[in-house]
Amino acid sequence: MSEPTPDRTRQFLELLNAHDRALTLYVYGLVPRDVEAEDILQQTKMLLWKHFDDFTIGTHFLAWARKTAFHQVLTYRRKKKREHLPLEEQTLEALGAAVSELAEQGSARHEALRTCVAKLPAEHRQLIQLRYFQELEIPEIAQRIERTEAAVYRALSRMRVSLMECVQKQSENLA
């Protein structure tokens, strides 16, 4: 296999960059553990690069990348066969199709959510950060911000409703 030309390298990097988020969401949607999803994602990207000369520019890069990722997920599942992995291959394929569809729809909603979160007061953004990005449990959050667990539950519940309404309004404005 010959070395890709600098122009071909640039094409690959541009395509990968343009579709990185969708590919990442796809893999993370199919693999239950983040560490393993990240490994599969890296393996997939290496394979995409290795076989980029087989890809025809102008065709659907994301579909090609997802197919490659799907086969990496299947390989992962075969290696983990001795562990309990409850999904059949057909179910995994259906899940992959659903994740792909949601990821494509999710881009606009994700941007709307990002806009809505940015509008929140700083202390509410802190709660969102602690709960959903640092993945802290409610008791840990309550202790860290010196509030009761009930107060944290109520605040998060109100924020979820508020964010959902904001995202819906943002989505309607884009449509």
What per-residue confidence (pLDDT) applies to 28?
83
The pLDDT mean for the chain works out to: 81
For the segment 81-137, what is each residue's pLDDT rounded down to a tens digit? 655 445 556 665 666 666 666 555 556 677 777 788 888 888 888 888 888 777 788
Question: Angle 6-30/61-79 helices, nearest 10 degrees?
Answer: 50
d(CA 121, CA 129): 12
Residues 52/54/58/60 CA torsion (nearest 10 deg): -80
Task: For residue 108, give both structure tokens.
Answer: 């606009």
Closest by CA to 113, choosing from 62, 58, 170, 56, is: 170
What per-residue confidence (pLDDT) applies to 120?
85
d(CA 140, CA 7): 51
**Average confidence (pLDDT) over 124-152:** 87
CATH topology of domain 120-175: Arc Repressor Mutant, subunit A (1.10.10)
- E strands, 3-136, in order: none
Domain residue ranges of the chain, discontinuous segments joined by +: 1-105, 120-175
Residue in the structure block whose two tokens are 């390989």: 75
Higher pLDDT, 28 or 154: 154
Tally of residues, the chain: 175
Answer whether residue 32 shows pLDDT above 80: no
- Show Cβ contacts of residue 39 under 8 Å, excluding neighbours closer than 6 positions: 76
For the segment 58-68, what is each residue's pLDDT rounded down to a tens digit? 888 988 998 89
Higher pLDDT, 105 or 146: 146
**Assigned CATH for 1-105:** 1.10.1740
**Average confidence (pLDDT) over 12-22:** 90
